[in-house]
Copies of this chain bind each other. A is one copy, B any other.
Amino acid sequence: MADTGTVRTGPDFRSDNTGAAHPKVLEALIAANRDTATSYGLDDWSKRVQERFAELFERRVRVWPVATGTSANALALAASAPSHGAIYCADIAHVHTSETNAAGFFSGGARLMLMPATHGRFSAETLEQTIAAAGVGLSHRSQPATVTLTQATDLGVVWTPDEVRAVSAVAKRHKLTVHMDGARLANALARLGCTPAEITWKAGVDILSFGMTKNGGMLCDAIVVFDEAVAPALNFHLRRAGQIWSKGRFASAQLLAYVEDGLWLELARRSNALAARIDAGLRGAPGVRLAAPVEINEVFVNAAPELLDALERDGIRYSRRARDYARFVTRCDGTEAEIAQLLAAFARHAAHA
């Protein structure tokens, strides 16, 4: 993932984690910065997070703030997969491509088993067949333990509640835990229009990596546990992993601000809308092909190398993934002007390509 940012003046579509934190997140930190508070997550803000997320998800949940999405994923997966376990994921899943060996490390050896997927979504049938071939009960085979879905996928495509439910049904029939990597959960929800409950535990999800950083957050994501039986020792795991902040109120305050008054969904709608404008703008552009449907805030494009080179020369910053393949991510703090600049550049160079 080459960084195209030598010219720093152009619009920035490299990722949604290059953006700023939303001002309300910072205001929440300032508001929390008074008096003393019990340390290690026993403060009032951390208690409020539990209540607030219970409302949000329409049931009792256990929320654990953590530093990063990788730690959320790895600790959630390790909570359910033993060291001899298999964790099933899409062939392009972030846990496979972009988190070093975190899941295997935290679980003491559990393996990610890749399944063929279309734009990062695999079918219930694929999971069923994979488990059928796994050798359940045979001691020389990795034992099916967990299935993880990335919502939205790493190609920016959204799992519907029905699709999640179909996969979960297979998982539960075989006693697997269902994990959702919700690094872009808000964007998925903004797209789907369903409730957080509908896309998670009501569809069979047991444990969720709740992403915030990419959508106006700052230094905090979270693990949300729906079925406490899947992660009874998570407090010990987190403390041992150095993921329980002593000044926990400053983590919880971020999470509270993020979901207050639907801020998270509002922000996701904003970045999704910007991507939709790119989508619309590129339709019919000569020499440009979308590599996946644009459903959230990511646009994957196949285009002539010369065209992509020209964009770089113009100072457009984006993620060049191959000579003829690129990712453009919109941010909740992105602007219409940036989109216009990008589309104009595309138009200008496509004409010559």
Q: Which A residues are within 8 Å of any B CB, using their own CB?
A: 1, 3, 5, 12, 14-15, 17-21, 23, 26, 29-30, 33-40, 42, 66-75, 82-85, 97-102, 104-106, 108-112, 138-143, 213-214, 217-220, 233, 235-247, 250-251, 317, 331
| Known pairs A71-B242, A218-B247; A104 contacts B100 (CB<8 A) | no
Contact among B39, B98, B139, B242 for A236, CB-based, below 8 A: B139
Contact among B21, B30, B35, B84 for A233, CB-based, below 8 A: B84
Q: Once bound together, how far apart are the Cα atoms of A311 and B308, in whole Å? A: 62
Which B residues are in CB contact (< 8 Å) with A102? 109, 239-242
The smallest C-beta distance from A286 to any residue of chain B, in angstroms, reads 30
Which B residues are in CB contact (< 8 Å) with A20? 33-36
Chain A to chain B: the 3 pairs with minimum beta-carbon distance, closest first: A71-B242, A105-B109, A17-B246
Q: Once bound together, how far apart are the Cα atoms of A219 and B28, in whole Å? A: 14
**Central interface residue in A12, A35, A235, A241, by most chain B CB within 10 Å:** A241
Which B residues are in CB contact (< 8 Å) with A42? 3
Q: Once bound together, how far apart are the Cα atoms of A220 and B220, in whole Å? A: 12
Q: Once bound together, how far apart are the Cα atoms of A46 and B140, in whole Å? A: 18
Which B residues are in CB contact (< 8 Å) with A242? 66-75, 99, 102, 241, 243
B17-A39 in contact (CB<8A): yes
B14-A36 in contact (CB<8A): yes
The smallest C-beta distance from A221 to any residue of chain B, in angstroms, reads 9
Contact among B29, B36, B84 for A12, CB-based, below 8 A: B36
